[in-house]
Amino acid sequence: MSALGEYRAAGEIRQGAGAALAALKARAAEWDLELHEADGLLTLLLWGGELTCAVSPAGARMAIRAPERRLVQVIRDALAELLAAEGVAVAWDAVEEGALAPGLALMRVVSVRARSPGFLRVRLRGEEAARFATGGLHFRLLLPPRGRAPVWPRIAATGRTVWPEGRDALHRPVYTLAGQAGDWLEFDIFRHAGSPTCHWAASTGPGDTVGVIGPGGGWLPEADRLMLLGDATALPAIARMLALTDRPARAVLQVAAEDMGSLAADPRVTRTDDLTAALEAAQIAPGTHVWFAGHEDAARRARAHLAGRGMGKRDFTAAAYWS
């Protein structure tokens, strides 16, 4: 069996197959997804998985294949959302009703300590910890409202993942893995005012349960050389990418000197007080992928600047890490 086919789901569309097909094609065009169509079979490649739609007079047979169980569910959720807008539903052959959302691990807090004046380091323990060290640099923390019993996202009878809403809605900030070994993982929280995550970190203690879902959000950009620029929220991502790469790399960080940690001694890294100016002044050698992350306004400016330099869309990343 191919790696792509390890995990599967299949189901029928009994009404609205035509509308489903049209919606899939429109989405493929909108998201620039690879699409093949032959002999009544539509095949869409997305997120490392595959979605097929075989139309027949009786309706359509939908099938998902992916290398990970959680990817099957992610594709199934995206499909359900797309088709719901057309009033179309898939009757799945089998559904793990009541199971935790794919990719969700419930982990225990081991410790929260000050890594530096501006950062807290959190260590979590759980048997799925190692899964978060590959395939994506980031994950979402799922923090239930304070004082309420947690309600975790689970798979419903329809095959869709149902997320708690209203008073049970979860806070879902994105963080970056900072370290992992055995059954633990660590991440660093940049301390700032008005942060529910910082409040959680200040009030949690060993043994508390927290949800961690992922990993996701990309890996090292593919290029001969890397230029990485970011503010404090991007420091963990830049540190991780520098640790993972053996390609020529340079990094510029807009963080307080006392928060640089081990990056202060890394000759590839410099500190700045103005990330945008640093980007605008940077010499960018051919073959470089420029990666920029910070406040959404800074990311927007970076995107415009890099496009204005004539860089292609695939040659840079400009990500809003906070707003």
Instruction: Provide the binding-site residues for ligand FAD, judged by CB under 6 A.
Output: 138, 171, 173-176, 187-190, 192, 194-198, 217, 232-233, 236-237, 321-323
Least Å from the CB of residue 175 to ligand FAD? 4
Choose between 92 and 322: whose C-beta lies nearer to ligand FAD. 322
Least Å from the CB of residue 156 to ligand FAD? 27
Least Å from the CB of residue 108 to ligand FAD? 20
* Burial group, residue 7, by CB count within 10 angstroms (0-12, 13-18, 19+): middle
Select the residue whose beta carbon is closest to ligand FAD and give its number: 195
Pairing relationship of beta strands 288-295 and 316-322 according to DSSP bridges: parallel
Phi/psi at 266 (5° precision): -90, 120
Radius of gyration of the chain (CA): 22
Choose between 94 and 244: whose C-beta lies nearer to ligand FAD. 244
For the residues of 66-124, what is the DSSP string, one character each?
ESSHHHHHHHHHHHHHHHHTTT---EES---TTPBPTTEEEEEEEEEEEEETTEEEEEE
Least Å from the CB of residue 141 to ligand FAD? 8
CA atoms within 13 A on the CB side of 198: 11
Least Å from the CB of residue 147 to ligand FAD? 17
Choose between 92 and 139: whose C-beta lies nearer to ligand FAD. 139
Instruction: Output the CA–CA distances (angstroms, integers) from residue 216 to 52, 62, 145, in the order listed.
Output: 23, 25, 24
Choose between 67 and 173: whose C-beta lies nearer to ligand FAD. 173
Choose between 316 and 321: whose C-beta lies nearer to ligand FAD. 321
Choose between 2 and 323: whose C-beta lies nearer to ligand FAD. 323
CA 293 remoteness from chain centre: 14
Least Å from the CB of residue 297 to ligand FAD? 11
Helix (H) and strand (E) counts in the chain: 6, 19
